[in-house]
Structures are given as C-alpha cells and as structure tokens.
Structure 1
Amino acid sequence: MQNKIDRITDILRRDDGISGAMHYTEQISWILFLKFLDDYEEELKIEAMLNDKSYQSILDEKFRWQVWAAPKKDGKLDVKNALSGSDLLDFVNKELFVYLKNFKNNENFKSIEYKIGGIFEFIDNRIANGHTLREVINIIDELSFNKESDVFALGEIYEKLLKDMGSDGGNSGEFYTPRPLIKTMVEVINPKAKERIYDPSCGSCGFLVESFFHILYKDRAKREKANLSVEELEFLKNDALFGKEKTPLSYAMGVMNMILHEISSPNIIKTNTLSKKITDISEDEKYEVILANPPFGGKEKEQIQENFPVKSNATELLFLQHILKSLKNNGRCAIVVPEGVLFQNSNAFVSVKRDLLDDFNLECVLSLPSGVFLPYSAVKTNVLFFSKGLRSIIDEKTKDVYYYELIPPYKLTKNKPLEYTHFDEFLKCYKDRKITANSYLVSLEELKNRNYDLSAKNPNVKEEKSLREVEEILEELKQNQDKAKELFAGILKTIK
C-alpha cells in the first residue's frame, strides 16, 4: 500500500496545480477518503443483507466511486465508460464537489453525512490535469479497505502523509505534532474507557486518534484489542472524543484522519475555541482528559481577550485559561507550552500560573529539547502535566513538582527528528518520580515564593563555561592579527 502512495506523490509532484507536501497530501486525502467510503458502504450493505434489512446508500448512485471513478466490466476497469481528461475534471469540479459540499447542510451533527460536508466544505480539487487525476484514481482503486488489517494499514499511511505535511514547514506545520510526543503524553495521562477526551486545538486530531487506540488496544503493535464491553466500545466511537479547530483545512484533515482511523462519528467542531467566554463553559463542556498542543506566538484581538478574566494577546495564555476551566474535577491534562510561559513574570502570566498552582495539581514539567517542532518552529517547549482535585502522584507532605529534562543522544533537526525511544527513561521514572541525572524535584512553596516562576535549573548539572565555536576563535585571532599589524606599522613610522 505504501508503494502505491509513493507512486501517487511522484505523479502529483508533476502536476501544475500541486505545490508542496500540503497540496499533495490534501489531494490524496479526498480521493482516498471517497474510496474508503465506498468500501465502508459495501460492508454496511452486506451487514444489512445478512440481517434481512434494506440499506440506504449515503451517496446518490451517480456520485458513488464505482460509478464515476472506477466503473468495472468483467472485474476490470471499464476504460470506455471511465471519465478522463477534461471530462473527468468537469465532472469532479462542477458536479461531484458541488454535491459533496452540500452535505454540510445536514442537521444531524453526529451523522456521517454531516462529516462529509465538513470535509468537502474546505477542500477543492487542485489537480489541474484530468489525465493525472485518472492515473491517481486508478492506483487508489487498487487499494481495498474491506479487512481490518487494510484499514489499520491505511491509518498508518495517512499518519505518514500528515508527517510529511508537517515536515514541509511553513503553515503546514500546524497540522502535525510529532507522534512520539503525542504517544508519550497519552501514555502518561492514560485515558480510560467511558472518559471524555478533549483537544481544544485539534489540528489533524493526533491526540484524539492516539487516545482512541490507547483505549481500544491492549497491544497495538500486535493488534490485540482490550476487553471492552459493547457499551464501552460504542461510547469510545461516538461519545468519547471531542475537538475544536479554527483553521478550515486543519479541520477537514482532522475529521478525515479520524474517519480513516475507523472513528466514524468524530465530535469535531470548526470554531475559534477562544471565541467562547470561559464563564459560559457549562459542566457538560468539561472533560475528564484534556490533551493539547495549542498555537503559541499568535496574537488575539481585544474582542477575543474580553472572554477571559486574565486578558492577554498571547494565544498560549488564553488557551491555558480555557483548558483550566474545561477540566472536570478529578480530570487530567497534558499541554505543550512555549518555554516563555514558565518564566514570564508579567501580571497576566503570573495570575494564570497562580491559578494553576493554587487550584490544580501541577505534577510534572517535562522540558523538551530544541528542535522538536522543526522546521515549523524553533521555539523551545515544555509539557505541563496536571490534574484537578486529586493527587495521584504528588506527595501530599512535600507537594513537590517533578521536573524532567529530555536530552536526546543527538541534536534534533528536520532529518534527525524526535523518536519515541527518547522518552524511555522518562516513562520509566515518571510514576515513581525517580531522581536521575535528568530529573529533580522542586517544592510548590519554592515556586510560589519565586513569584510563580516555573522555570528551574537542574541541580544535578554542574555549571560549565560554554566553549566557544572554532569560527569565533579564528575570527578573534584574525582581528588581533590585523590590530598587531596596524600597531607594528605605526611603530615603524615613528622610528623612521
């Protein structure tokens, strides 16, 4: 399956309408989705027939994959009736996409029809050459998603496409949080069956998909499923996973990512999370688990800031307030924040950090190395793990915060990214709050006395003078040499 996707990306790179990984991932996505939907419908038809029931297709016959994309004759592509070139482009652009976009008018939020409308509302066909589109369709038609193993493989491939999209840098980085980091955060928070899980800036829904598999599988590598009841499984697929996303394309890719991972009814809303007054957040809008990597470095206008008790144009501070308000009693949260959140001492930052330390249980600060989000962002980040109303990890007597510095064996770059194995020691040490060369404890009292400065230096590391770069030393030697020549020339002049 991966070889076919690689062939498609090579084909699309030659098309005039495609520019970069974001475009070819977007285009592969909608075609893959329609093929997946066709196979999904075939399964539903068979299931209905076995139960002696009739089945109402989601799509009208004219717009079904087997009719417009890959009509068959004797089991092979019916070349005579398969559209290509300008005929194919006209049908896709003027009929198919118009039809699919109209699904957004469906009022049943939980229905697959509503989700289809949500996807195609923000995606258009960018493939400029109808013959190129025909090539891509023919390759994707060879894929089958009738078996669970096929769908599992599709999910893995889609993750790789999203990763390539994120690695492309620029604006496409918003779609992708490194999966090793997501997997680690989910593992620490440990979402359970019947818990509601929320990501207020869900992007491509990596946290929600990983949480789904964390609960669904006892051993994901071996595809050994957990012993969930029918009720628990239904809750997981329909009522456990919630997200909000502001950016149209991110929203579409996120919904598609969840559906392609067998989550047929994702509760994802396209909205600016920060546009809701946090005083209006009801108990129904609070969650047992929150996992997030909200946007940082952005600026929000005054109208949005009015929704928060602590006003700031820093998006990271507004999201943190929203998350604190959205966490249920006995809930758990892991959130990625830029390093500045730890040490910023303005009134706004201190006020929100005071709420965090006084009203919640800050259990761990995981310091991530530079380069985790390259090439999208070079900002150094941390993960805050905290809970509300329980102290499952913090020692009640000392109330210490566990700090851990993640130090990979090499400098992270675009071509040498973060790996899941880099978290091995952290995951072994976290629960027991084990002190190592990379970890230490800081008392809550000390953090409060420092005016809620959450940054801390590792006491296990001796202060070392930083060595200068070779280029810097050579440049200084050159300057000294030039200066010596000048002085020597001056001395010669006085002698003469």
Structure 2
Amino acid sequence: MITGSLKSSVDKLWEEFWTGGVTNPLTVIEQISFLMFARLLDINESRNEKKAQRTNKPFRRIFPDTDEGQALRWHKFKHLGAENMLPHVRDKVFPHFKSVAIEGAKFGEYMKDAQLMIQKPSLLVSAVNMIDALPLTEGDTKGDLYEYLLSKLTTAGINGQFRTPRHIIRLMVEMLDPSLEHNEVIGDPACGTGGFLVEAMHYLQRKYTSPEGIIDHEGEKIYSGDLLEPHREHIQNNLIHGFDFDVTMLRIAAMNLLLHGIDAPDIHYQDTLSSGFPDKFPQQAQNFFDVILANPPFKGSLDFEDVHSSLLAQVKTKKTELLFVALILRMLKNGGRSATIVPDGVLFGSSKAHVALREMLVEKNQLEAVISLPSGVFRPYAGVSTGILIFTKGGKTGDVFFYDMQDDGFSLDDKRTQLYGSTFDGDLPDCLIRWKGKDPQKDTDRTAKAFFVKTEEIREKNYDLSLNRYKETVYEEVQYEPPREILKKLKALENEIMRDLDELEGMLG
C-alpha cells in the first residue's frame, strides 16, 4: 500500500528531474530505475553477507571484495559530494551494471547500453538522497511505489507502445484465471513495462493465500501468498517470460518484476515477429505457453522479409495487429489460452488477411469472448477503439460471449479521473460476474450488455466480430407536443419577458 507521503516523495523526485532538465517521462523512469537497481544490488549484497556470516558458506559477490569494488556500492557512493559522485556513478558504477547477474537474472542484457543521462551533479545527489529514503525493502510497498511511478508515464514509446491501464489488465487476468497446479507458464510477446506479468503475479498471490494468510492493514487486505511456497521454484525460474524490442521498456519491465518479487525475470530484448525469434528462442517461440496476456503495439506495417515465414503462412499481411494474433496462436500450447487487446479493425476489417485471421480463430481454435472497450480507455496515449479477444488454441468454437463495456470506472477524457471508490468498478465487475456465470441458453437478450452469438451466425456474417453487428438497440418512442402548442408556449414566454423588461425600464425612471 502506498501512502500519501510516499506519493509526494515520488512527485518531488519527478519534479527534481523535470527542473534538472530531464523531461522525457520514459527517460526519467529509466534513470530512477537505474538508481533503484544500484540500491537494490547493495541491499542484496548486504543480505548475502549476513547470511554467509551465519552459515559460514561462501557466496558469489556482486561487488568485488576490493577497495575499488566496494566503492561501487550504494552505501559507499551516496556519501560522496556532488562533484565526485557524478563522474564516479557515470564512469564506474554504470559500467559495472553490464556485468551483473543477480540470482540467475542476467541484468547485463538490459543494462548493456545503460547511460547516466543526469548531467547536473546537484540533481544526482538529490535523486540519490530521495531514493535512499524510499522503503525498497518493504514487500508490497516497493512494487506499489513503482506502479505509481509508471502511472506518470503519459507518452507512448518510440514504437507506439503504451502502458495498459491496470484495471483492464486485472480484468483480463481474472478472466483467464491462471493457475500453478500444473506449473502453468505465462508470457507476453510485447511486454512493455511488464504490467501483464506483474498483474498475473498479483492474481496468483491473491489466489494462493489462505483465509488465515489475509492480513488487514488499515482497512486494506494484504495477501501473503502463504500457499505459494510449494511452487516457489517454478515461480522464480519458469513461470514468467516476456519479450520487447524497445530496450528502455525492457529495463523498466525488469525493474518492475524485480520489485514485485520476481528476482530472476526471464525477459529478453527481441522482436517476436521477426524471423530471428524462433532461432534465438526455439522453445518459447512455439507450443510453449499455457497463458498469454498481451496488448501488442500497432505500429502499422512491416516488410515481409522481416516477418517469420510461419506467421505469413497463417496470415499473409504486413499489419502487426494481425501478425501478433497469429504469433500468439503459434506460441500457445494446445489448450493454452490468451486474452489479447486488438484495435477494432481486427474485429471487422474486410481485407483477405483480416477475414482469414478471424476464420482461423473461429474454425481452427476456440474463440470464447469479444469484449468491446470504451474508446477513451487508452487516453492520453491514443483514442483508438479496441476490444479484448479471449481464445483457446485448438478445440472448437461454441457460442461466443460478447460484452459491451461502456464504463471502465474512469472518465474517458485525457485526464482519466477515477469515478468511483474502487479502481475496479464501472462495468468491470459485472463483466467478470457474467463471464464466470455464463450460460449460452440464458444470455440471449441482444439488447443487454452481455449476450452470446452462435458460431453459425458469425460464419454467415463473414466472421465479423464487431459488437454492433450483433447487438440490438432499443429505440424509445419520444412523444412531442404538436407544433402549434409549442409555438403558443413560446409566444407566452416572449410576452412574459417583454413585461419584465418594461417593468425594469420603469424602475430606472
């Protein structure tokens, strides 16, 4: 839980960067991430040192046990003066990041091009002091703190990626209901800041907490995840996998997962649509995942030469939004399931590729749901209309669940102000309840928010999946007064105004 004082600390830190000349929100978050990482490495090293003293067992050091190596640690360099700290952090601490591995995570991969963008010595000292005061050792707080930092990200990445609202992510995760019983594996082929992967972890934390493990903290429930212990090795080593082709996003995602308890996140710099993906990651590229959650970037078109031939065999197109759905189907195991955000064009586009993709979803897999989202959900990044597709690889499509979401609990303007007491409100709880208790026999009213459509009807309509193709609108007949009556009332009103004006003129003498 993040308190008001913590929020104001983050706000102040953000302001320091802004006034210090670092104004790109992505750069600010990246630079704060680097400094948090430097502090976390030192915390981790201190923890290992204490453990080694207790057990008399050696451990692999992050910082060499020399004067030069120890000078790279947070608790050492934070006391340097402004003029000495800047060159020390820039020329010695940052280069060291590139060789660092922590608990199996090769952070060098994310840090190889890391640069200190802070030019002002006073800004670095301010940032170090503020980050030193943040509670980075406190379980949930450090994750919530980073989420709050990410909420300030109001610009899209260079390739059109942007942060998916957390309440939409939560709906998608809850609808897919990931589980650890059979060591399910969760992935995101375009993970951005890691929001889907973090929320999947939150969900499992809630799901695997016994009634005794729920702690009430100032009226807010904290889920201890006490039933996760038997699955701990799987969680740390194989549960979560992510890819992104923007190294800044990758660094932010790595930090996000680290702060949410995934010490060795398996996330990699990779364009998953490219022909190189199956060569570099043959295991993950095909028939690997039980659950895929994604909001892929829709950056337009790619060259055919850049795209792997197995995707073009499924759907011959240059459009990334279609290729990503085909990619997700390839990455899923048979019986694996996905919730993926797509622009509305995917649902009703009439090109050969659009129709072929929807036909593949309906005829060769199990299309389960189409959730229509309000058009302002991704403001201020974009005003594009989108929907969520929920599907399972293989199987057979039965009746498809449609839901018309009109209220996601936030205003649909650029401010996206929270409208209710909870962040999971509006139509979201209703959508989840209808989904969990879905009954194709009962939910047939096409004027309602939730209804089912038979596969035969979708087939007849050229696999069109847009909500408006099936939803029925009820028009209420409005009774108007006869025009003569309206005219009579207008004249009476006019006369009354004239009388009042005459009276006012009389009062003025």
**Residue 399 of structure 2 contacts residue 452 of structure 2 at CA under 8 Å; is this kept in 1?**
yes
Question: Which residue, out of 441, 450, 462, partners 2:461?
Answer: 450
Name the residue aligned to 1:45. 49
Per-residue displacement from partner, 1:126-159 (whole Å, max 9, x unpaired)? 111112211211222223434xxx1311110101
Supply the distance in 1 between the matched residues of 2:307 and 2:282 (Cα, whole angstroms).
Answer: 19
Report the CA distance between 1:8 and its aligned residue: 1.3
Name the residue aligned to 1:197. 186
Report the CA distance between 1:15 and its aligned residue: 0.8
Question: Which residue, out of 294, 297, 306, partners 2:296?
Answer: 294
Supply the distance in 2 between the matched residues of 1:463 and 1:447 (Cα, whole angstroms).
Answer: 25
Supply the distance in 1 between the matched residues of 2:305 and 2:72 (Cα, whole angstroms).
Answer: 50
Name the residue aligned to 1:415. 415
Name the residue aligned to 2:506. none
Question: Which residue, out of 18, 26, 38, partners 1:13?
Answer: 18
Report the CA distance between 1:414 and its aligned residue: 2.3
Name the residue aligned to 2:231. 232
For residues 245 and 279 of structure 1, do their structure 2 counterparts lie closer, same or farther at Cα, with a shift above 3 Å needed? closer
**Residue 12 of structure 1 contacts residue 24 of structure 1 at CA under 8 Å; is this kept in 2?**
yes
Question: Which residue, out of 365, 368, 372, partners 2:370?
Answer: 365
Name the residue aligned to 2:28. 24
Instruction: Give the percent of matched residue pairs that are identical in Structure 1 and Structure 2.
Output: 31
**Residue 119 of structure 1 contacts residue 253 of structure 1 at CA under 8 Å; is this kept in 2?**
no
Supply the distance in 2 between the matched residues of 1:249 and 1:386 (Cα, whole angstroms).
Answer: 30
**Residue 369 of structure 2 contacts residue 390 of structure 2 at CA under 8 Å; is this kept in 1?**
yes
**Residue 292 of structure 2 contacts residue 328 of structure 2 at CA under 8 Å; is this kept in 1?**
yes
Question: Which residue, out of 181, 200, 206, partners 1:211?
Answer: 200
TM-score by length of 2: 0.79
Report the CA distance between 1:266 and its aligned residue: 0.7
Report the CA distance between 1:412 and its aligned residue: 0.6
Higher alpha-carbon deviation: 25-34 or 340-349: 25-34
Name the residue aligned to 2:94. 97
* SS in structure 1 at match of 2:151: helix
**Residue 34 of structure 1 contacts residue 65 of structure 1 at CA under 8 Å; is this kept in 2?**
no
Question: What count of residue pairs does the alignment treat as equivalent?
Answer: 440
Determine if the alignment matches structure 1 residue 159 to structure 2 residue 147: yes
**Residue 169 of structure 1 contacts residue 375 of structure 1 at CA under 8 Å; is this kept in 2?**
no
Gaps of 5+ in 2: 1-5, 215-219, 478-509
Letter of the 1:111 partner, please give it.
Answer: G
For residues 54 and 305 of structure 1, do their structure 2 counterparts lie closer, same or farther at Cα, with a shift above 3 Å needed? closer
Name the residue aligned to 1:473. none
Higher alpha-carbon deviation: 352-361 or 408-417: 408-417
Name the residue aligned to 1:477. none
Name the residue aligned to 1:476. none
For residues 181 and 52 of structure 1, do their structure 2 counterparts lie closer, same or farther at Cα, with a shift above 3 Å needed? same
Report the CA distance between 1:51 and its aligned residue: 2.8
* SS in structure 2 at match of 1:323: helix
Report the CA distance between 1:83 and its aligned residue: 2.3
Letter of the 2:98 partner, please give it.
Answer: K
Report the CA distance between 1:171 and its aligned residue: 4.1
Supply the distance in 2 between the matched residues of 1:152 and 1:94 (Cα, whole angstroms).
Answer: 33
Report the CA distance between 1:111 and its aligned residue: 1.9
Supply the distance in 1 between the matched residues of 2:392 and 2:12 (Cα, whole angstroms).
Answer: 46
For residues 89 and 131 of structure 1, do their structure 2 counterparts lie closer, same or farther at Cα, with a shift above 3 Å needed? same
Letter of the 1:254 partner, please give it.
Answer: A
Report the CA distance between 1:173 and its aligned residue: 6.6
For 1:70-109, list aligned pairs within 5 A: 70-71=75-76, 82-103=79-100
Report the CA distance between 1:64 and its aligned residue: 6.9
Per-residue displacement from partner, 1:186-207 (whole Å, max 9, x unpaired)? 0110111110001000111111
* SS in structure 2 at match of 1:60: coil
RMSD, aligned α-carbons: 2.8
Gaps of 5+ in 1: 466-496
Report the CA distance between 1:277 and its aligned residue: 7.4
Letter of the 1:159 partner, please give it.
Answer: E
Letter of the 2:369 partner, please give it.
Answer: C
For 1:177-326, list aligned pairs within 5 A: 177-193=164-180, 194-218=183-207, 222-228=221-227, 230-276=229-275, 285=286, 286-305=288-307, 307=309, 308=311, 309=313, 310-326=315-331
For residues 358 and 172 of structure 1, do their structure 2 counterparts lie closer, same or farther at Cα, with a shift above 3 Å needed? closer
TM-score by length of 1: 0.81
Supply the distance in 2 between the matched residues of 1:270 and 1:380 (Cα, whole angstroms).
Answer: 29
* SS in structure 2 at match of 1:363: strand
Per-residue displacement from partner, 1:441-461 (whole Å, max 9, x unpaired)? 111111111111111325342
For residues 35 and 66 of structure 1, do their structure 2 counterparts lie closer, same or farther at Cα, with a shift above 3 Å needed? farther
**Residue 122 of structure 1 contacts residue 249 of structure 1 at CA under 8 Å; is this kept in 2?**
no
Supply the distance in 1 between the matched residues of 2:404 and 2:69 (Cα, whole angstroms).
Answer: 52
For residues 227 and 202 of structure 1, do their structure 2 counterparts lie closer, same or farther at Cα, with a shift above 3 Å needed? same
Question: Which residue, out of 336, 348, 351, partners 1:343?
Answer: 348
Name the residue aligned to 1:441. 452
Per-residue displacement from partner, 1:59-114 (whole Å, max 9, x unpaired)? 23567787654439xxxx7xxxx3233322211222222222244xx7x9x723x1
Name the residue aligned to 1:126. 117
**Residue 178 of structure 2 contacts residue 200 of structure 2 at CA under 8 Å; is this kept in 1?**
yes
Report the CA distance between 1:253 and its aligned residue: 1.0
Per-residue displacement from partner, 1:19-44 (whole Å, max 9, x unpaired)? 13222222211111211222122223
For residues 89 and 332 of structure 1, do their structure 2 counterparts lie closer, same or farther at Cα, with a shift above 3 Å needed? same
**Residue 70 of structure 1 contacts residue 138 of structure 1 at CA under 8 Å; is this kept in 2?**
no
Question: Which residue, out of 330, 337, 340, partners 1:332?
Answer: 337
**Residue 342 of structure 1 contacts residue 454 of structure 1 at CA under 8 Å; is this kept in 2?**
yes
Supply the distance in 2 between the matched residues of 1:137 and 1:351 (Cα, whole angstroms).
Answer: 54
Letter of the 2:201 partner, please give it.
Answer: F
For residues 14 and 257 of structure 1, do their structure 2 counterparts lie closer, same or farther at Cα, with a shift above 3 Å needed? same
Name the residue aligned to 2:487. none
**Residue 402 of structure 1 contacts residue 442 of structure 1 at CA under 8 Å; is this kept in 2?**
yes
* SS in structure 2 at match of 1:275: coil
**Residue 403 of structure 2 contacts residue 449 of structure 2 at CA under 8 Å; is this kept in 1?**
yes
Report the CA distance between 1:231 and its aligned residue: 4.0
**Residue 278 of structure 1 contacts residue 325 of structure 1 at CA under 8 Å; is this kept in 2?**
no
Determine if the alignment matches structure 1 residue 374 to structure 2 residue 379: yes
Per-residue displacement from partner, 1:221-265 (whole Å, max 9, x unpaired)? 633334536441110121110111111111111111111111011
Supply the distance in 1 between the matched residues of 2:82 and 2:416 (Cα, whole angstroms).
Answer: 41
Supply the distance in 2 between the matched residues of 1:28 and 1:431 (Cα, whole angstroms).
Answer: 40
For residues 63 and 346 of structure 1, do their structure 2 counterparts lie closer, same or farther at Cα, with a shift above 3 Å needed? farther
**Residue 244 of structure 2 contacts residue 268 of structure 2 at CA under 8 Å; is this kept in 1?**
yes
**Residue 371 of structure 2 contacts residue 405 of structure 2 at CA under 8 Å; is this kept in 1?**
yes
Report the CA distance between 1:355 and its aligned residue: 1.0
